Chain A
Amino acid sequence: MGSNIKNSTVRDNRAHPVVLGAGVMPFNRYRDGSHWRDWVRRAALDAIEDAGIEPKDIGSVVVASETDFCSLQVNPAPVILDDLGLAGVPAVRVEAGGASGAAALRVAVHQIKAGAAKCVLAVGFDAAAGHLRAEDVQLVYSLSFDAETDGMAGATAVALYALSMSEHMSIHHTTAEQMAAVSVKNHGNAIGNPWAHKPMDITIADVLASPMIAAPYHKLDCSMASDGAAAIVLAHADYAPRTSELRSRIIASAAATDRARLGDRIERHHFAAKQQAALAAFKEAGITDPVHQIDVAEVYDAFSGAEIQGIEALGLAEPGRAGPAMASGAFDRAGDLPVNLSGGLIGQGGAPGAVGIAQAATIDQILTGRYRRDTTPVKDYRLGLVDTHGGLCTTSFVHVMEQVEP
């Protein structure tokens, strides 16, 4: 890649952006004196190094973070650029709740496809765990629903997800054991993952014995707030450095929204926005049979039941069938369709601005055969799905990634 790429113009809207590299500052609760700018810098520089480019090759930066109440930095993009020595590069900050990172990914994809830039750095972060009290984080996050009518009334994430899932359980007879199987799988998948916040070797009995937070959710059904950052470098295929290695590219980016208030939805147990985004993404990617065509997926699992709801909304299981399939191991590491090999939000962690980008980084490494070779089943993964949402699946993003041979 040459240094002149910033000033060139791309007009090929058919091109699918190629992933050049990614970096992740591990999800954790940092109380070591480090600042989120340190995490972002590390993730971004790791991504640039992984991409095999120079910082000067970056033609645009897209920054994601959920809330300035956590970072204490309004307009974070310029300070991030300063920390990377990239002042002067066009930059925007995007926000879509827990899907902020996925929103940044989508903006980066669109910038490349529109010809606005040939090489884009998308970087997401949040400081949600280490330097704020849990009750303050809970208050801030409750404002990510309809703050006026629901958040101010006391609606927390776990309460709203619990209300939604309780209806799923009533309608589809989904069981607490099936939900616990998600927790066991995702905590277990996180074992050995250097990016993971909460790897655990647990059983279904452990999940069911953990304290009840908001029925039907026990403590171990819930993801946790994490600190962290993630970055990814995308480029137009024509400008990607030549390589003899496998790469991945993003062949679909779709988004949809649902009613912000759970009570305004006709089917409160169903993630309609996710279904809409998935259908659009599959159409864009030419996927007609996702159950058999998708090889691996990272699915947004803020809570165990949300993964079950998500798998069904994505069309990876029939309505009401994801729970039994989960219990039978269909989505396990060695199952028919591995879901959340990273551990997902439950096992890997959830810094909202970073999640969607870290999911894409995981899928990129899986598709290119670089992901945790000690634990990832040996299989030719060719098509991967990245699913991220904000709110109670109020804002949904689905990306489809494909393996690219040299």
Chain B
Amino acid sequence: MTSRTEAPTSELRLELTYDHATGRLKPYFDGLLAGQAIASHCPACGKTWFPPQAQCPDDQTETGWNRISGSGAVLAVTTTVTKLPFTTAAETYSFVLVAMDEAENAVFGRMQSPVENIAVGTRVELAAPVDEAGHPAQAAQFIVKGD
């Protein structure tokens, strides 16, 4: 039943255009687009979260914003070929989880260019995005520190 035959199908194309808001994450995304790390900061316990948390997961206090250094260490890395959402062509990307120095959590992003043999623990820093982003989240781009 898997062969493509002269079955009665219709080729449909669904095109949706969104005026997509960033909401409360606007400072975070504005920071990424500028190559800066804008994190949420809990005024009660002093913990910092990047990506941000609206409410502190530890004490449920509403957080504020704080700029952090943008430096961190790689926790995990994988390289794959994919088409980023709302872009046009598949490329090879090295995706990383990075623990920012001041943050309690880790951020998903990508190395600015594919890398081989990057090690867990490699020091990286957030960089200003170099390619056109399909969404501001795609500006979470890192380079090896010192490059």
Contact = CB atoms under 8 A, between A and B. Distances in A.
Nearest to A213: B80
A156 B82 contact: yes
Chain A interface bracket (under 10, 10 to 19, 20 to 34, 35 or more):
35 or more
Given A148-B137, A152-B135, A261-B105, A159 B82 contact: yes
A32 to B, nearest CB: 5
Contacts of B140: 149, 153
A335 interface: no
A142 to B, nearest CB: 6
A167 interface: yes
Interface string A194-228: 00000000000000000001111000000000000
Contacts of A158: 80
A146 B125 CA distance: 23
Contacts of A142: 85
B12 A153 contact: no
A163 B9 contact: no
Given A149-B25, A153-B137, A154-B85, A33 B76 contact: no
Contacts of B137: 148-153
Contacts of A138: 82-83
A30 B108 contact: no
B35 interface: no
A263 B107 contact: yes
A149 B76 CA distance: 17
Contact of B95 (A30, A155, A259): A155
A31 B78 contact: no
Interface in A110-162: 131, 135, 138-139, 142, 148-156, 158-160, 162
Nearest to B4: A31
A197 to B, nearest CB: 9
Contacts of A6: none
A289 interface: no
Interface string B67-98: 00000000111111011111000100101010
Interface residues of B, number: 44
Given A31-B7, A261-B105, A263-B51, A154 B82 contact: yes
A170 B5 CA distance: 47
B17 interface: no
Nearest to B84: A154
A149 B108 contact: yes
B7 A33 contact: yes
Given A170-B120, A262-B97, A153 B110 contact: yes
Contacts of B51: 149, 261, 263-264
Contacts of A60: none
Given A31-B2, A31-B4, A152 B134 contact: yes
Nearest to B11: A131
B78 A163 contact: yes
A347 B135 CA distance: 35
B146 interface: no
B138 A166 contact: no
Contacts of B136: 152
B8 interface: yes
A29 interface: yes
B80 A32 contact: no
B83 A135 contact: yes
Nearest to B10: A131
A123 B26 CA distance: 40
B80 A166 contact: no
Contacts of B53: 264
A159 B76 CA distance: 11
Nearest to A33: B7
Contacts of A69: 14
Contact of B25 (A29, A148, A151, A162): A148
A268 interface: yes
Contact of B8 (A33, A156, A262, A268): A33
B45 interface: no
Contacts of A166: 76-78
A151 B137 CA distance: 8
Interface of B: 1-5, 7-9, 12, 14, 22, 25, 28, 51, 53, 57, 75-80, 82-86, 90, 93, 95, 97, 105-110, 120, 134-138, 140
7 contacts: A135-B90, A151-B85, A153-B84, A163-B77, A166-B77, A268-B75, A268-B97
Q: Which 6 A-B pairs have the closest CB atoms?
A: A33-B7, A263-B106, A214-B80, A152-B135, A153-B137, A152-B137
Given A135-B83, A163-B78, A166-B77, 20 more contacts: A28-B1, A30-B1, A31-B3, A31-B4, A33-B7, A34-B1, A69-B14, A72-B14, A138-B82, A139-B83, A150-B108, A152-B136, A153-B135, A158-B80, A162-B78, A163-B108, A214-B80, A215-B79, A262-B106, A263-B108
